[in-house]
Structure 1
Amino acid sequence: MDVKTVAVIGAGVSGVSSAIHLRNAGLDVTVFERGDVAGGVWVYDPRTALEPSYPAILPSVGDSPIFDSLLESKDRRVRRDSPVDQDFSYLKPRLNTKDLEILHAPPGPCYQGLHNNVSTPEMKLRTHDWKPDTPDFVPHDVLATYIQDTAAANKILSLISFRTRVTKVEKKGEKWEISTAKLIDEDSEKEVRESVQFFDAVVVASGHYHAPNIPDYPNLNAWKTAFPARISHSKSYRSPAPFTGKNVLVIGAGVSSTDICRELGGVANKVWQSSRGGEYDLLPSMLPDNCTRIGAIAGFSPLASVTELRDEDTLTGSIVLASNDTITNIHHIILATGYHMSYPFLSHLHADDTLPNQASETTLVTTGQASPTMSRPFHFSSFKQWL
């Protein structure tokens, strides 16, 4: 089949780059971006997404099951084996503009102090130069602006349908049916308008930093229920200011965790960083002086009783390590435990309970991980790859 029309999902660096090259090849391109601007993971939003489920919902469900459930014509319901309630329609009359905006396009993980850790010369796109004298390492807003400038300079902004969430992608004969939900202003209020379009090919460039991975630690759910404001995923982290003078446990030892620990080091009283000893964990020598590397978390102690905490109070109970040691006197817990690969608009290609090495040829994502038998009809573009 001749490919003439292409849908690109996402307007981060990979989506913008893909759209430019596809357009330059003579194809008719439409980009769907659920946010207001291009820039992907580098777009900073002081707001945060709604809290995820503890433990994490299934990868096939995605990062906003409430919004998906509210759609008038939604024929793909939340999976029956999901721990998330099936019907959120009772919430619809209560939603205000702010709620609807966040449910439609949950803010990403970009925090105030985020910088690139790959130099700008290495990140330069073929289709647009950096401004003269751009430093090697720059804040997030410089990176977001660069992606937006690239889209403008290559005249593809008109190809991007902003505030448009892709809700379903399905093969219908020789075409791909793309269902979308667009957030529009209607008489000073927000309204969601659903539509369906058909394309010859699809590029998925939606990234994978949107569906938090919340491990199923024993009693973590009870702790989150008892102390909702004291336990969060790193996706909600914006600045170290709220943790001034506090004792903080950061679970995970990857890039984001270490960056957050370094920021917390300047304001917190004491920081602990938990590491499982994974291959992507950074060296403890990168941590600030008031941060201690500890071992893997085994679980959380049962809570005998729950009382309302004052700001200066630490969490009741103890955190149990795999070594059987315990940590106490913690004010806040940040789970820097990564993200699921999640394509809720392709839920039929997920196999949430299947191990990657047991996946069929039609499985795209297994237990939150990419299947080694990645489906061939799609092109997946990672924003880590700069074209």
Structure 2
Amino acid sequence: MSATSTTNPGSSTTESPKIPKIESIAIIGAGPAGLASLYEFLHTSKDGSSTLTNAKNTYKENKLPSDPAFKKIVAFETKDHAGGIWAPATEKADLNVPPQDILNSEDYSNPEVIRPNRKSPKDLSNTDKDHPIDTKDDSNSKEIELINELEWKRSGVFPFLFTNIPQKFTRYSYLPDEKEYYSQQRTIYPFLTHNELTKRFTNFIKDTNLLDYIRLNSAVENVEKNEKTGKWELTIRHKPNGQNKNEWYKEEFDAVVVANGHYTVPYYPHIEGLAEFNEHFPNSILHVKSFRNVEDFKGKDVLVVGNSISTANVVQYIVPVAKSVTVSKRGEHLVFKYINEALSSDGIISKPTIDHIDPKTGEFFFKDESKGNKYDKIIFSTGYHYHFPFFTKEKDYLKLINPGNLSRVGGLYWNTFDQKDPTLGTVGITVSQLNFHTIEASAAALAGVWSGAKQLPSEIEQNQWEIETIKEKGDSLHFHYYTQHTAKDFINGVIPYAPKNRYNPLEIDGEFVYDVDEGGNYLEKLFYGLKEGKISTDDTSDPIASKSLDDILKNKEGKSSNNSGIKDEKKQANVDVETVVDGVEAITV
């Protein structure tokens, strides 16, 4: 099942799929996956070769082709800025919890319910970008306000969060690997602050003029194949800044990349009594995506549900200020092993998963038949949904197997190519600590096949790959997951489909994957230092002025609270900050 040079493809499912000439590509999303896809397509030549031939070069040395493979490339981004989960944080967070009527439906763990699609005007046949149909948004309409909120498009960053993957792997292989981030005098070495990560990616977008190809405030509401023309028809809703209207239009493309990420729509597990509890005790529940400050938890009894890296990120700040902290979790963390012991350490009450809630008394009951406190605050650190609301159920594109935080996206070959329609691709489905490099490899593979440089194996062979991978890894999110040490297996599997002469993203960086293992040791020290009040948010937010982690832990006496380190959070929240997710969020909850 290796890539081959282009020959005359057959139409039988036992032969390589026939792909029409692709000149126009739509990219849904301008986050990390969308940006990598855009950059890759722009650096692919009509003859199927890549200008990304030297792994030592950064984007500053890479040149655009003289004869590009694709005439039209457009990335559609719902937000008013590119960057996805790395986009600037906002002081205002998403909804803490879905609206009460959705909770009362008892279907709140279904992504189609908590993130519904918008209905477009009936006839868009004569529209285009320059001639849309306008619809008004009543700014006083609670219904419109609710629909806007259910897009879940705000950042999940809180002001004092730092990355949890070392600096070398919070970048594509062609981004600079700045020397200043390697100083062990930095408290958060080998990680980055939000501002540092922001600088890395905003510079990339600006220096490469990627915004010229991105349409902001533009949500893709529907995607369907026109069987007569063989082209994809996208329904776009553009919302101009500061205007209470939507501009609707349709646009056709030869191929579509789905790169909308899977850290946007929060997952709330279904729990007996949860809906009624929220009604009786409002403002008690939130998802970790909406966490912004520790003041809300001062002197409170807090329950955190989950066992992910995000759980540890929040707990380390809450323990010093809360009255009590309980963590409800299932199983062990499979990646950062220190989390298993850390979330049961001094100052943390450990509980199994929740069985049910008594909504009248507010008491929580756990699977071991124990009873918890009446908690003042409940944080769900339970991951996110894959969700593709722009596809209709009838067509079955990117079908979710067991929708939830552990769902699998079915019908893909190497998590990248749709098996039934090779003009539909996905980037960012693979989950790994080396997310940037796996994203880069998927984008390169699409560029290679769509430029005609490489051919896919037959649909039968692609399906057989999926069947064998299910047998090996299971029919859940684990299907898409690769550790920092097995990510090379994914990249080596998909990169043969890349354009001619395109280098392997791990050609240089692959030597340093053990940095991720070492990073786990630093995360453990930071967790206990923050939890015990020996490290403040000042220490982790301003590494230029900070001391090494070991020096701080040696010289500082434990404080009664690290809250003194949090200064003017409202001001900090308005700074352009970005975050990095370790890529294994939902694996461990």
Which deviates further from its counterpart, 376-385 or 150-159?
376-385
Instruction: Give the 5 Å matches for 1:1-387.
Output: 1-25=20-44, 26=68, 27=70, 28-43=72-87, 44-50=89-95, 51-52=97-98, 53-54=102-103, 55=106, 56=108, 58-61=110-113, 63=115, 65=116, 68-69=118-119, 71-73=120-122, 94=141, 102=149, 106-134=153-181, 136-173=190-227, 174-185=230-241, 189-277=243-331, 280=334, 283-287=339-343, 289-303=346-360, 316-348=361-393, 364-368=399-403, 369-374=407-412, 375-376=418-419, 377=421, 378-382=424-428, 384-386=435-437, 387=440
Deviations 1:180-201 (A, max 9, x none): 111114xx63321111111111
Distance 2:123 2:274 in 1: 32
- Higher RCO (CA < 8 A, seq sep 6+): 2
Q: Secondary structure at the match of 1:211?
A: coil
Q: How many residues align?
A: 347
| 1:143-192 deviation digits (Å, cap 9, x = unpaired) | 2332222122222111000111111111113111111111114xx63321
Determine which structure has the larger helix proportion and give its number.
2
CA pair 133-90 structure 1, distance change in 2 beyond 3 A: closer
Identify the residue that residue 80 of structure 1 maps to in structure 2.
none
Contact 2:325 2:347 in 1 (8 A): yes
Counterpart-to-counterpart distance in 2, 1:255 and 1:182: 35
Paired AA for residue 60 in structure 1: E
Residue pair 1:8, 1:31 contacting (<8 A) in 2 also: yes
User: Cα deviation per residue 1:263-293 (whole Å; 9 max; x = unaligned)?
Assistant: 2112212110101115548533223632222
Q: Distance in 1 between matches of 2:206 and 2:303?
A: 42
Of all paired residues, the percent bearing the same amino acid is 24
Instruction: Report the RMSD for the aligned CA atoms in angstroms.
Output: 2.9
The alpha carbon displacement at 1:349 in A equals 6.6
SS at match of 1:124: coil
Counterpart-to-counterpart distance in 1, 2:234 and 2:282: 37
Amino acid at match of 1:293: S
The answer to whether the Cα contact below 8 Å between 2:109 and 2:270 also exists between their aligned partners in 1 is no
TM-score by length of 1: 0.81
Please tell me whether Structure 1 or Structure 2 has the larger radius of gyration of its CA atoms.
2
SS in 2 for 1:113: coil
Normalised TM-score (structure 2): 0.54
Three-state SS of the structure 2 residue aligned to 1:117 is coil
Q: Which runs of 5+ in 1 are unaligned?
A: 76-88, 304-315, 352-361
Q: Distance in 2 between matches of 1:257 and 1:263?
A: 10
* Pairwise CA distance, 1:31: 0.6
Change (3 A) 1:95 1:74: farther
Amino acid at match of 2:411: T
Q: Could you say what secondary structure the match of 2:37 adopts? A: helix
